[in-house]
Structure 1
Amino acid sequence: MTADEPPLSTVDALVQLSFLVQRALAEAGAEHGLSVVQIRLLGVLRDRTAGMLEIGGHLGLDKSSMTGLVSRAEKRGLVRRSPSPHDGRAVLVSLTDEGRRLTEQGAEQIGRRVAALTAGLTEAQRTELTRLAGAVING
């Protein structure tokens, strides 16, 4: 933005920021043949084993979309399914060793790309951006 351009509205600023972050995710994923939704699946499973409904809730996907997503990741050796010990009808999904390795690599690459987006900010501005983003996320 130049000095003679009007400032962005909150909506425009957040939408354009989301585009930048999505591009960072897409570029990091493309290096490993992963879509953004596959990257998000690995991110959800980074620190937990989760049921299909829980994962679907995080990703905003219905049951049939989740089944396809997990099946494709399973075929690539990135995740495994196991029966839930608490519900015989439920399936739990977790990362394989290869999935964990790829998730760690991807997190580093995404971290570098997102950090580059804020490189022009001061430390105080980055701290404030993080605080405000957290407030928006937490409602």
Structure 2
Amino acid sequence: MSPKSTSTAAAIELAYQVKALVPELNAALTKAFHPLGLSCVQADALMALARIQPVRLKELAAVLVAESGHPSRLLARLEERGLVRRDPSPTDGRAVLLSLTADGERLAALAEDARRPLVAEVARVAGDEELRQAIELITRIRSLVD
């Protein structure tokens, strides 16, 4: 097998493995978040808000990979549950800033705790350098297909 065909075969295998990993990760996270009454997307939104609040919807949408097409519906559901609030921006009268309520903060922390064992296991298995290299590779590949 020539080096080019070996690289091509490896690229195809990598694409397959990444494609297979996404639903497997989602299933593991769904299981972790289910006792909290959260979907993966809801948990991701709460944890993202906990990190970057207060934030405009557009800025939050940029960090929500799975919900990039309909973040306003997601946020409306979280607001209905009393987990998220919308406040007027103090600097722009037209803008609305999203932030977590006290219940949202509590649930975001519980979601982080629920996700922690899986994250710790991945970190243990791969290690810092291997994870850094994987992130760099996936980021480069994503820039090719964007």
Task: Please indicate the TM-score interval, normalised by the length of the shorter structure.
Answer: 0.7 to 0.9
* Aligned-pair CA distance for 1:91: 0.9
Q: 2:128: which partner in 1?
A: 127
* Aligned-pair CA distance for 1:104: 1.1
TM-score with structure 1 setting the length: 0.76
Query: SS at 1:85's partner residue?
Result: coil
* Aligned-pair CA distance for 1:25: 2.0
Q: Distance in 1 between matches of 2:120 and 2:24?
A: 12
Q: Distance in 2 between matches of 1:136 and 1:104?
A: 30
Amino acid at match of 1:41: A
Let me know the Cα RMSD of the aligned residues: 2.3
Q: Which has the higher helix share?
A: 2
Q: 2:28: which partner in 1?
A: 24
**Equivalent pair of 1:29/1:39 in contact (CA under 8 Å):** yes
Amino acid at match of 1:131: R
* Aligned-pair CA distance for 1:72: 1.2
* Aligned-pair CA distance for 1:102: 1.1
Consecutive unaligned residues of structure 2, counting only runs of 5 or more, are 1-9, 141-146
Q: Distance in 1 between matches of 2:62 and 2:41?
A: 13
CA separation of 1:54 and 1:32: change in aligned 2, threshold 3 A: same
Consecutive unaligned residues of structure 1, counting only runs of 5 or more, are 1-6
Q: Distance in 2 between matches of 1:19 and 1:129?
A: 22
Amino acid at match of 2:19: V
TM-score with structure 2 setting the length: 0.73
CA separation of 1:136 and 1:101: change in aligned 2, threshold 3 A: farther
